[in-house]
């Protein structure tokens, strides 16, 4: 019998939860080298979801250099860890 579980995680948060759990399991296998999951980069849409704002507001923060971001050609990308640190340090959004 299958069970259905309803959560309030976004797709992005759920994927990160799975990555974290897989990393924990692999790191607890005796003799297995420690695994570091490459966090990769988030798109504007993903980053906006992560920090709970609309993409337009995120673009405003980018244009004012108030949020950490990276450029790859014309693409604007974000590291989850940098956004988390930025949020914890009290983002300068005013």
pLDDT in tens, 30-76: 876 665 555 678 999 999 998 999 999 999 999 999 999 999 889 99
Token pair listed for 52: 């709970």
Angle of the 80-88 helix axis to the 44-51 helix axis, nearest 10: 30
Domains identified in the chain and CATH numbers: 10-38 (no CATH), 40-94 (1.10.10.10)
User: Model pTM?
Assistant: 0.58
Pick left, alpha or beta for residue 48 (phi over 0 → left; psi -120 to 50 → alpha; otherwise beta): alpha
What residues contact 91, with CB distance under 8 A and at least 6 apart? Answer: 51, 61, 66, 67
């Amino acid at each position: 019998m299958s069970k259905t579980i309803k959560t309030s995680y976004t797709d992005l948060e759920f994927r990160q939860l799975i990555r974290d759990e897989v990393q924990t399991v692999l790191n607890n296998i005796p003799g297995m080298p420690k695994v570091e999951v490459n966090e990769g980069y988030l798109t504007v849409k993903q980053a906006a979801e992560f920090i709970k704002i609309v993409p337009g507001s995120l673009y405003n923060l980018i244009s004012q250099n108030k949020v950490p971001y990276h450029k790859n050609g014309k693409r604007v990308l974000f590291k989850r860890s940098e956004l988390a640190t930025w949020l914890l340090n009290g983002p300068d959004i005013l």
